[in-house]
Structure 1
């Protein structure tokens, strides 16, 4: 936390802001991903275990032909590289850079206005699910506060019990706990929850990426409440995100069901990510 503000200043200077590099992401996943960082050359260099990730900072201003040989005399492979970083490196270093698309890591960009209004045939099923939820369940929506951590964790515990165990879900569960525990210390966090009969049945946790973009970190709903996913999505954006024009709903990780679900919200674009290899 002691270099939080320094990191956030560098992140703000990134021309393309990937959710993978937000401060909230790095902090909440730091234990399960073994994130480490180092500050040099006006950049923050990031590793996750043995993996080298893209540096964070003003990419356009860096003399890459000097910086990369100094840090990586034998070459480097950057994983989860945002399209903006890949383009700058390829332009600066030419054929010594190879960029391979990593489709499973593309981030889905949506219009806040579209996902709030849900107009037209494209969103008819979303509207229908929300209507079912509203009709069947007397609910209250409210913005998340720091003191909501305990009921949110209880909802998360119930959600975990509904799903088959997996290493990925266990890691995500730990990250959710870390984020809720440090709510006041992670700038730009916000979220919303649906309460039915005194129980949290759905919630969204988000983070501000820029003045016009919000990202969704976690979004969960209990299976017994049909339409709760669609309802929390819409109500959070309508109640807490009117000042933002776009929402980044992260990547699908190559999971077909998740890809279908994300595409069903009709993205207006993607933040593409690459595996970028530089050979000296």
Structure 2
């Protein structure tokens, strides 16, 4: 490994390199898709390099889990050379291989993984509140549409409206999310993304965007809705999972960021698994 690692910013030209690594070494954590890393590259200051046949991405303050055959080996190697190096969002199974290093659970970064059939069918008493909200949304006679170049402007219109209501300009995290959504929509075809929208009359009232994470798991990156329409978020999710190709069995809906309201919402859909993540350092 070089004494000084040479990192560079992520560009669209790097997609084929990321696709090669991610294809050979499929990931479980929602952060590690090219779409996510590229879309958030400005806000998170994402840069990358190749080390010992591994892809290594860093932000301004930490490294992500390396992508390759032996992530734990690379983590240990870097920390041996950089005593203050910190890795975050490291999967539990990798963290458990790092005996002698300090590991700390990052509960707010755990990904929520659901069985797609559960989200499609919404069977049983536990999902009755969701079914009721969906019925209320159906009263508006919504139309389902798929993201394409002909309607992408409608996605932007809803995002602009949502940001206006949430005062994105006064909220850094929402500003950064808005930038990431803009980057994602601008490159949806190159990134091979699946997007659905819910249209009420002449305006989009909700949308969801996602992509393949690995062979069995789809990941939902963004979900927005106009809450003037009761049940819109439940309806968006119902239609989104219906649009996911049938060979995918699970949906990763990313993390709750430690925000109680988001945690409650994600838990209310009864995940079958959490992708547990850890912070790893020498001290």
Alignment TM-score > 0.5, same fold: yes
Match of 2:179?
Answer: 174
Q: Structure 2 regions of 5+ residues with no counterpart?
A: 1-11
Report deviation, 1:156. 0.5
> Aligned to 1:79, which of 79, 85, 88?
88
Residues 187-198 of structure 1: matches in 2 within 5 Å? 187=192, 189-198=193-202
> Aligned to 1:235, which of 233, 239, 251?
239
Determine helix, strand or coil for the equivalent of 1:218.
strand
- Are residues 1:212 and 2:223 paired? no
Comparing 215-224 with 155-164, greater Cα deviation is found at 155-164
Report deviation, 1:33. 1.0
Q: Residues 105-148 of structure 1: CA distance to partner in whole angstroms, max 9, x if unpaired? A: 0000000000000000111000000000002x122112211332
Report deviation, 1:240. 3.0
Q: Structure 1 regions of 5+ residues with no counterpart?
A: none
Match of 1:147?
Answer: 150
Query: Contact (CA 8 Å) 2:215, 2:248: kept in 1 or not?
Result: yes
Determine helix, strand or coil for the equivalent of 1:184.
coil
Report deviation, 1:29. 0.6
CA distance in 1, matches of 2:251, 2:162: 24
Query: Contact (CA 8 Å) 2:19, 2:34: kept in 1 or not?
Result: yes
Match of 2:64?
Answer: 53
Q: Scaled by the length of structure 1, what TM-score is found?
A: 0.90
- Are residues 1:270 and 2:279 paired? no
Comparing 195-204 with 163-172, greater Cα deviation is found at 163-172
Comparing 139-148 with 243-252, greater Cα deviation is found at 139-148
Query: Contact (CA 8 Å) 1:162, 1:223: kept in 2 or not?
Result: no
Q: Scaled by the length of structure 2, what TM-score is found?
A: 0.89
Q: Residues 72-123 of structure 1: CA distance to partner in whole angstroms, max 9, x if unpaired? A: 34352201212233233x2xxx22x121101010000000000000000111
Query: Contact (CA 8 Å) 1:107, 1:250: kept in 2 or not?
Result: yes
Match of 1:18?
Answer: 29
Residues 52-201 of structure 1: matches in 2 within 5 Å? 52-59=63-70, 63-64=73-74, 67-68=77-78, 72-74=81-83, 76-88=85-97, 90=98, 94-95=99-100, 97-135=101-139, 137-165=140-168, 166-187=171-192, 189-201=193-205
Aligned pair count reads: 270
